[in-house]
Structure 1
Amino acid sequence: MTLTKLLARKRHIHVQSCFSVCRRLKSSEDYEYIQRSKVPTFHFQASLPRLPIPELEKTCERYLAAQQPLLKSGEFEKTKDHVSKFREAEGKELHEKLKEIDKQNKHTSYISEPWFDMYLRDRVPLPINYNPLIVIMNNPEPEYNDQVIRASNMLISSLRFMKSLRAEILEPEVFHLNPKKSDTDTFRTVTRLLPSSISWYGAYLFKAFPLDMSQYGNLFNATRIPEVGKDRLFQNKSAKHTLVMRKGHFYIFDVLDRDGNILKPNDILACMKYIAHDNVPPAEYPIGVLTAGNRDSWAQTRKHLESIGNSEVFNLIDSSFFNICLDDVELKDDRMLMVRNFLHGDGCNRWFDKSFSLLFSKDGITAINFEHSWGDGVAVLRYLQDVFKDSSKKPYIHPDTQPSNIDASKHVQRLDFKLDDTARNAVNEAKKLYEAFYSSLDFNIMEFLNFGKKVCKNHQVSPDSVMQLGFQLAFYKQAGKCVATYESCSTAAFKHGRTETMRPCTLATKAFCEAVTAQNKPSNAELRQMIDNCSKVHGQLTKDAAMGQGFDRHLFALRRLAEQRGGPMPTLFEDPAYASINHNILSTSTLSSDAVIAGAFGPVVKDGYGIAYSIFKDRLGTIVSNYPPHRDGKDFTECLRSSFQDIYDVLHRAK
């Protein structure tokens, strides 16, 4: 072989080797990250608009409008007097003080700190009261719904999401008013080139609205730690392990190597299989149930557990990426069993304090249960959708994947708590109290077919307004009156926005309820006009709330300032009507996503209903929770079915 040919061959081998290395690097990077966004994750954060403080006059008007359908005429006149005095005197002073504080804290919103404080000070148990449940769609390929396979794939996708978030290559969360014009490469190219300080305005020109992403960082390595009087949020981003619970036992294993790379899929599978097949009896004293109790009681027990040598165990649990719960129960698509197991369970195989837990039944049905103080549904839903899509369309563990030959017993560590009689008694007492608590909760599930988004669109009414009108009519049929109603509305369009309360009980809904149940009902044309009016009013209230123009958060902040000031409270806050409108008999919320089967949460008051609802193309669904005998959930859902039928009939007869 000539020297020229030999050098050419060496160059060819070298080039092939370089291509091979590049392919491996690309493959490795593809594995490490779920997305590679053109626009940095937090690019819009600096220029997000600040959450506005509504004008005091507008807040007073909106408050009275919400009170009017709830109060008798004499009561309403008294409330008007309280509002008038508030608007002219103490309210004006508190409002100016709030604006002054807001000016001094331009990095955040006026509601952020008070809202965190509200959550962390409440002493009631987290499950049912605060931690919501979202059931995730099954993998379209049935063989991928094996418990260990699905848990391993969702763990890998979660780590890919986390790494993309921290590398700031996760796609920014943007609401596209017209996706065809703004959800494009042109939009991303233009906005990426703009400085962060003005990037939001560039997006606005495309009629696209970036959303606040400040909560996303709280998803991982985070925990709510109980303290007497007020809990605290803890996070340790340097930790490299995840937490897995099974039969009430705690396991951890590193899911990132020393360089911060995600473990190989078959290594993760080996560790997950080891835990799933660990031949141990259920924990005799399941420490996790303590997280289901009163926060002060749990805080005192945790301090005792730390004092007898469990601080390091707690640190490992608290700092883990998130919690994976492998349950032994088979749900078999039983919707009621699904809701009960995932919303509360018996607490033995849960750690409700973690930022979120992925829950897997024995037959692979999956849900997320998340602690609510650190953030809201917008962040959780984005995480859930991305991870569901990634783990379904790009799974790294397959039914024929073999676990690696690593010695999983050396990679997986089972955490053991040191217990004394005081700790054992605390666990036993917590189990009794929690069982009594969750056993008092009732659920009723209702699905109404052939009535969904498609029908609403055809009749030019808002699907959400139809659902809310149904709730109002159902309660009116059951109790003969209108009551305080809460609908959650995100204010994530603003920096450090949280939620605003939308008040679906209006004079318009009250008029329809009275008319459609009257002995001499108006004509169908008149009833149809009433539905249109309900939809119009509802739409405006929703828009106001999303734009930070509700009244609840404003009054909440003003009341907090009055409490901090000391002295007599403004009479508006002492008015029974104020307490009544904040005693939300109907608490409602929805999450719309193709990745979600259902959601559920508990009532916010003992004599109320917790109504999680979904609006699909051709059906409506609700999961209603209540505490008997304070309310009759079965009767309410029967009234709800009747109400949807009434609304459906009015719409179709009006053709």
Structure 2
Amino acid sequence: MARLLTKTCLWRGGIATSPSSVLLRAYSAGSSDTEYLQKSIVPTMHFQKSLPRLPIPKLEDSIKRYLNAQRPLLDEEQFRKTEQLARDFQNGVGKQLHEELLLQDKQNKHTSYISGPWFDMYLCAREPIVLNSNPFMSFTPDPKTEYNNQLIRATNMVVSAMRFLKTIRAGQLEPEIFHLNPAKSDTQTFKRIIRFVPSSLSWYGAYLVNAYPLDMSQYFRLFNSTRIPKVNRDELVTSEKAKHLLVLRKGNFYVFDVFDKDGNIVKPSEIQAHLQYILSDSSPVPEFPVGYLTSEERNTWALVRQKLIDNGNEEALRKVDSAVFCLCLDDFPTKDHIHLSHNMLHGSGQNRWYDKSFSIIMTQDGTAAINFEHSWGDGVAVLRFQNEVFKDSTERPAVSPQSELAKVDSSKAVQKLVFHLNDSLKSAISSAKNNFDNLVNSLTIEAMEFKRGGKEFLKTQKLSPDAVSQLSFQMAFLRQYGQTTATYESCSTAAFKHGRTETIRPASVYTKKCSEAFVRNSSKPSAAELRNMLEECSKYHGQLTKEAAMGQGFDRHLFALRYLAASKGQTLPELYQDPAYAQINHNVLSTSTLTSPAVQLGGFAPVVADGFGVGYGVHDDWIGCNVSAYPARDVKQFVQCVHQSLDDIFKVLEDKSVKK
């Protein structure tokens, strides 16, 4: 399995997605049945039972990788101290904790060693989930321009989303599989054979033809799910029986059924009529928009939510929480990509409910995006959903510009939710709005497009496109701030049962040496020497990527050992008290890559106050990044430095006098 997964993409500290080759392959032909996306002959969860378990790395390997990642960040004296603490940990308390972790893992074969601690990490976090957790991915516009009308596109996306819901619950969504040899495994013959292999053995059958099924345990949280604020630790709630959609417009809340009593999708013309009714409602923005509360610090929101319930809002909240998903209709067009990023990442706060597992946000001109809550899972399910909805809504739209609205009484079908607010609740909403405004007004976003070349050219140079992109960020930071800094890039471990993510640490001794050679240029290396350094960076980044995809990084292992020590009430081992440990986990550069025909743009906020949030994509003939920062960093200068770094790299690669 060492070749199993190439670098995968994610937003923020933990959202990983499965490889684009999996997600972008041609899925089985769409069913002619308007209720379903497809009817896979292999059941959706066919491979789940036999997925391999996420391995726990050897402690000595994790320590070695940890020290390798620390090397470029520390001076000699700091490194010697950190190395000693790491060795003491490896031979002392760490060894005991590691053995306990192995034992615990053996007793919980139904899951992975990281799953429980990772859920806790998210659900126990008390900071607001806006900017600190929720990312966005925007849809590519519909290729048929006239279908980008807000009403038409919203209707089509709702219908396609409901087809997805029905397909997965019927077990007829194609299983998520990474095909190393699609000619052999992504075929009808393979599917006809593998469906008869028992679930307890099916993974091995796929493995024989170089096909690797991925974990799909998170998918059930996509629909009818919400993160409920609770004091100290939030709770995830899923209500699969609910049949209604939640729609927000101008801070007002509406619900209507998208399934009938028999479980069939409501006629598209009726859904369109109900959405038109909502868009035509002249109700002003409420003086106290309740949606702001979901952007609050979590303990604050938990206490206010209880007050909401006590003040007669329990039924309204139940309808919000149990809705299939949230559709936010914004009453303005998208101006440009920067405006799009700000609106889809946070918006004004009044027309959002950030706690839903995901929301589809759509502006007046049909620009659409998914903003999703992160604790329930990683991006595997969300990106699959986005790809399927884009494909279905554009290739098999339920309504067209010529469609007529159903002659139904939407005033009876659509219920407008009313929230009863006393002075205490109004004060809480005002406070939440002030906090929200202060937070989002401090965020700056800049975008960059490098048009000199992309994936195709870099492959001719036998260099990893991802490695080159990551090197450009290291060079840019060195150029701007004169140093190498802690950098985070995430990789999916969905090849394993209940796998989550592992961290790739792109800052290495190789990228440091190469960046200094390009930026400082004091030794004036030749073009040939620079090319050799680029090859070293690419090779090492490839190694780190393979290790992470196979669950052989160090971050999750050390995190689990620390979590175990804390759960036992032990004193925090010295390794974790080392300033160098805090520094490497203070991820100034938080990076994530995403390329999909369904996705136009994606983004997230920095994970630390003095950091950058770097969403990037390497396309066939260009490289782009969408970068966010708070006032501590100059984001405009950073993207200029990234562009300059890519220019420098491509200049060397285009030098015909240098032998490849």
TM-score (norm 1): 0.95
Q: In structure 2, what is the equivalent of residue 267 of structure 1?
A: 270
Q: In structure 1, what is the equivalent of residue 95 of structure 2?
A: 92
Give me the whole-angstrom Cα distance separating, in 2, the residues matched to 1:81 and 1:396.
64
Q: Which amino acid in the other structure matches residue 528 of structure 2?
A: A
Out of 441, 452, 455, the position equivalent to 1:453 is 455
1:519 Cα offset (Å):
2.5
Q: In structure 2, what is the equivalent of residue 412 of structure 1?
A: 414
1:234-253 equivalent positions in 2, closer than 5 A: 234-253=237-256
Please tell me whether residue 195 in structure 1 is matched to residue 202 in structure 2.
Answer: no
Give me the whole-angstrom Cα distance separating, in 2, the residues matched to 1:619 and 1:190.
41
Distance 1:321 1:75, change over 3 A: same
Deviations 1:180-211 (A, max 9, x none): 22111122112111000010011111101100
Give me the whole-angstrom Cα distance separating, in 2, the residues matched to 1:592 and 1:208.
22
Q: In structure 1, what is the equivalent of residue 332 of structure 2?
A: 329
Q: Which amino acid in the other structure matches residue 607 of structure 2?
A: V
Q: In structure 2, what is the equivalent of residue 466 of structure 1?
A: 468
Give me the whole-angstrom Cα distance separating, in 2, the residues matched to 1:58 and 1:386.
39
Report if aligned partners of 2:138, 2:600 keep a CA contact under 8 Å in 1.
yes
1:320-359 equivalent positions in 2, closer than 5 A: 320-332=323-335, 334-359=336-361
Distance 1:203 1:618, change over 3 A: same
Give me the whole-angstrom Cα distance separating, in 2, the residues matched to 1:73 and 1:339.
42
Listed as ranges, the gaps of 5+ residues in structure 2 are: 1-29
Listed as ranges, the gaps of 5+ residues in structure 1 are: 1-26
Equivalenced residues, count = 627
Q: In structure 1, what is the equivalent of residue 426 of structure 2?
A: 424
1:566 Cα offset (Å):
2.1
Out of 512, 526, 535, the position equivalent to 1:523 is 526
Q: Moved runs in structure 1, 4+ residues, more than 4 A?
A: none
Out of 547, 550, 565, the position equivalent to 1:547 is 550
Q: In structure 1, what is the equivalent of residue 14 of structure 2?
A: none
Q: Which moved more, 1:108-117 or 1:424-433?
A: 424-433
Out of 302, 318, 321, the position equivalent to 1:318 is 321
Matched residue SS, 1:460: coil
Give me the whole-angstrom Cα distance separating, in 2, the residues matched to 1:336 and 1:198.
49
Matched residue SS, 1:31: coil
Deviations 1:299-346 (A, max 9, x none): 1111101001101110000000000000012114x0111111110111
1:79 Cα offset (Å):
0.7
Deviations 1:336-392 (A, max 9, x none): 111111101110000000000000001110000000000111110000000100000
Matched residue SS, 1:612: strand
Give me the whole-angstrom Cα distance separating, in 2, the residues matched to 1:392 and 1:116.
35
Please tell me whether residue 442 in structure 1 is matched to residue 444 in structure 2.
Answer: yes
Q: Bigger relative contact order, structure 1 or 2, given CA contacts below 8 A and separation 6+? A: 2
Give me the whole-angstrom Cα distance separating, in 2, the residues matched to 1:102 and 1:122.
24
Give me the whole-angstrom Cα distance separating, in 1, the residues matched to 2:354 and 2:329.
14
Give me the whole-angstrom Cα distance separating, in 1, the residues matched to 2:441 and 2:396.
40
1:367-516 equivalent positions in 2, closer than 5 A: 367-516=369-518
Q: Which amino acid in the other structure matches residue 38 of structure 1?
A: I
Give me the whole-angstrom Cα distance separating, in 2, the residues matched to 1:64 and 1:553.
15
Out of 361, 364, 377, the position equivalent to 2:363 is 361
1:143 Cα offset (Å):
0.8
Give me the whole-angstrom Cα distance separating, in 1, the residues matched to 2:570 and 2:115.
25
1:201-220 equivalent positions in 2, closer than 5 A: 201-220=204-223
Give me the whole-angstrom Cα distance separating, in 1, the residues matched to 2:396 and 2:162.
14
Q: In structure 1, what is the equivalent of residue 10 of structure 2?
A: none
Give me the whole-angstrom Cα distance separating, in 1, the residues matched to 2:594 and 2:380.
9
1:520 Cα offset (Å):
2.9
Report if aligned partners of 2:38, 2:167 keep a CA contact under 8 Å in 1.
yes
Q: Which amino acid in the other structure matches residue 442 of structure 2?
A: S
Matched residue SS, 2:503: strand
Report if aligned partners of 2:31, 2:39 keep a CA contact under 8 Å in 1.
no
Out of 611, 633, 636, the position equivalent to 1:634 is 636
Q: In structure 2, what is the equivalent of residue 596 of structure 1?
A: 599
1:5-16 equivalent positions in 2, closer than 5 A: none
Give me the whole-angstrom Cα distance separating, in 1, the residues matched to 2:622 and 2:181.
26
Give me the whole-angstrom Cα distance separating, in 2, the residues matched to 1:261 and 1:211.
29
Q: In structure 1, what is the equivalent of residue 285 of structure 2?
A: 282
Q: In structure 2, what is the equivalent of residue 258 of structure 1?
A: 261
Give me the whole-angstrom Cα distance separating, in 1, the residues matched to 2:538 and 2:227.
40
Give me the whole-angstrom Cα distance separating, in 1, the residues matched to 2:536 and 2:345.
36
Q: Which amino acid in the other structure matches residue 609 of structure 1?
A: F
Report if aligned partners of 2:31, 2:37 keep a CA contact under 8 Å in 1.
no
Matched residue SS, 2:72: coil
Q: Which amino acid in the other structure matches residue 101 of structure 2?
A: L
Please tell me whether residue 156 in structure 1 is matched to residue 159 in structure 2.
Answer: yes
Please tell me whether residue 559 in structure 1 is matched to residue 562 in structure 2.
Answer: yes
Q: In structure 1, what is the equivalent of residue 111 of structure 2?
A: 108
Please tell me whether residue 55 in structure 1 is matched to residue 58 in structure 2.
Answer: yes
Give me the whole-angstrom Cα distance separating, in 1, the residues matched to 2:456 and 2:443.
34
Matched residue SS, 1:511: helix
Q: In structure 1, what is the equivalent of residue 41 of structure 2?
A: 38
Q: In structure 1, what is the equivalent of residue 578 of structure 2?
A: 575
Give me the whole-angstrom Cα distance separating, in 2, the residues matched to 1:253 and 1:174.
35
1:38 Cα offset (Å):
1.1
Q: In structure 2, what is the equivalent of residue 24 of structure 1?
A: none
Q: Which amino acid in the other structure matches residue 445 of structure 2?
A: F
Out of 163, 166, 169, the position equivalent to 1:166 is 169
Q: In structure 1, what is the equivalent of residue 229 of structure 2?
A: 226
Deviations 1:121-155 (A, max 9, x none): 10111111110010110000011110011011000
Out of 592, 595, 618, the position equivalent to 1:615 is 618
Q: Which amino acid in the other structure matches residue 141 of structure 2?
A: N
1:283 Cα offset (Å):
1.7
Q: Which amino acid in the other structure matches residue 435 of structure 1?
A: D
Give me the whole-angstrom Cα distance separating, in 2, the residues matched to 1:424 and 1:84.
55
1:439 Cα offset (Å):
0.2
1:28 Cα offset (Å):
10
Q: Which amino acid in the other structure matches residue 480 of structure 1?
A: G
1:488 Cα offset (Å):
1.0
Out of 123, 141, 144, the position equivalent to 1:141 is 144
Deviations 1:493-551 (A, max 9, x none): 00001111110001110110111122232110111011011010000100100100000
Q: In structure 1, what is the equivalent of residue 538 of structure 2?
A: 535
Q: Which amino acid in the other structure matches residue 639 of structure 2?
A: T
1:444 Cα offset (Å):
1.1
Q: In structure 1, what is the equivalent of residue 27 of structure 2?
A: none
1:66 Cα offset (Å):
0.4
Give me the whole-angstrom Cα distance separating, in 1, the residues matched to 2:332 and 2:120.
37
Deviations 1:546-592 (A, max 9, x none): 10000000000000111122232211111111000000000001122
Give me the whole-angstrom Cα distance separating, in 1, the residues matched to 2:571 and 2:437.
41
Report if aligned partners of 2:31, 2:38 keep a CA contact under 8 Å in 1.
no
Q: Which amino acid in the other structure matches residue 214 of structure 2?
A: L
Give me the whole-angstrom Cα distance separating, in 1, the residues matched to 2:579 and 2:508.
19
Give me the whole-angstrom Cα distance separating, in 1, the residues matched to 2:572 and 2:130.
33
Report if aligned partners of 2:62, 2:554 keep a CA contact under 8 Å in 1.
yes
TM-score (norm 2): 0.94
Q: Which amino acid in the other structure matches residue 144 of structure 2?
A: E
Matched residue SS, 1:368: strand
